[in-house]
Amino acid sequence: MAKRDGGKKKRKAPWPVPAPEPALRDVLRVPEGERIDLTAYDARATPAGPADKATGLAATAALGPRLAELQERLYAASTAGDRRRLLLVLQGMDTSGKGGTVKHVIGHFNPSGCRIRAFKAPTREEQNHPFLWRIMRALPQPGEIGIFDRSHYEDVLVARVRELAPRRLISRRYGQINRFEKSLAEDGVTVVKVFLHLSYEEQRDRLLKRLDNPDKHWKFDPGDIEERALWPEYRKAYEIALERCTTDEAPWYLVPADRKWYRNWAISKLLLEHLEALDPKYPPGDFDVAECRARLLAT
């Protein structure tokens, strides 16, 4: 009977192997060497991963234990001299969810291994230094996860829109930033830059919600309405920053941010992919386990 098939054994059709899902970092990465037009990106899109809220919340929660474990490994490795660490840079318009990301995404991690810094308008002392000075001082140490809520990019965003420095000077900063980030990468810092892409309409809704709830009035600043009037200028400034500062060492990721659950999932997943690529290991002990055991039992 077997001969009838030319010697080949009849086999059941195997279960189809699903095509491997593309890494989210490849989906969200800002293309290099292209003009960026932010109006072409839908801020409500769910370009990969869960497509509805219930699935998204569950998927995000499911990432938690793995993120926590990788963070512990990264920290553990640093105690044995591994200098690697991760820096998440969050940028986006007012209400785009930088603070919410810290609360919900960084909440997965052990807080003692996180170094969080929210950058406000520079102080007098900070203004007397190069714009990267305060950034250097806030960097994560080996084994840590650093989070910047705003960053050195403010110096080419609000600084450009509000003309806080001569245009000539601002133009030089893109190169300074790229060189700085290249040095960070060489020193073991994985820089994950996330632009929270919010729509003009969603910002209006979020600002209105703050106004409607007296418990949120402390978060509202009438100045936010004036900043909103400069939306096209800010969009342009972001487009330039994304174009000029997406490098191999530190690309920008464009995360649709109108849906909070999608934003939280996408950033959690991006962090997971980067931590998995680092693949940090628990370092072995440099002591005699049996001997220590015996000494302990004698106490």
Q: Which of 22, 81, 111, 166 binds its own copies (CB under 8 A)?
A: 111
In the block, which residue shows the tokens 């800010």?
A: 234
Q: Does 296 bind its own copies (CB under 8 A)?
A: yes
Does 138 sit near its own copies (CB under 8 A)?
no
Position among 163, 204, 276, 279 found at the interface with its own copies (CB under 8 A): 204
Please report the DSSP string for 11-49 in residue order.
-PPPPPPPPPPPPHHHHHBPPTTS---GGGS-TT---SS
Q: Which of 220, 249, 272, 273 binds its own copies (CB under 8 A)?
A: 220
Does 182 engage in binding with its own copies (CB under 8 A)? no
Say if residues 48 and 22 touch (Cβ distance below 8 Å): yes
149 binds its own copies (CB under 8 A): yes
Within 74-93, which residues bind its own copies (CB under 8 A)? Answer: 76, 79-80
Position 107 contacts its own copies (CB under 8 A)? yes
CA angle, 167 as apex, 161 and 170 as ends, to 5°? Answer: 85
When asked if residue 229 is in the footprint of its own copies (CB under 8 A), the reply is yes
Three-state DSSP class for 223? helix
Contacting residue, 83, 103, 129, 179, with its own copies by CB under 8 A: 103
Of 43-51, 98-106, 129-137, 238-246, the window that binds its own copies (rule: CB under 8 A) is 98-106
Binding segment toward its own copies, per CB under 8 A, in 12-20, 177-185, 224-232, 257-265: 224-232
DSSP code of residue 99: H
Question: What residue spans of the chain are helical by DSSP H?
Answer: 24-28, 53-78, 98-104, 124-127, 133-137, 158-161, 167-186, 200-212, 223-229, 231-244, 260-278, 289-297
Tokens found for residue 238: 């972001």
The span from the CA of 169 to the CA of 156, in Å, is 10
Stretch that binds its own copies, among 4-12, 58-66, 151-159, 287-295 (CB under 8 A): 287-295
- The one-letter amino acid at 210: R
CB 231 within 8 A of CB 202: no
Q: Give me the phi and psi of 96, to 5 degrees please.
A: -75, -10
Whichever of 47 and 100 has its CB closer to its own copies, that residue is 100
Per CB under 8 A, does 61 bind its own copies? Answer: no
Q: Kindly state whether residue 31 participates in binding its own copies, applying the rule CB under 8 A.
A: no
| Contact with its own copies (CB under 8 A) among 102, 170, 177, 267 | 102
Site for its own copies, rule CB under 8 A = 76, 79-80, 99, 102-103, 106-107, 109-112, 114, 116, 118, 147, 149, 204, 207-208, 211, 214-220, 222, 225, 228-229, 282-285, 287, 289, 292-293, 295-297, 299
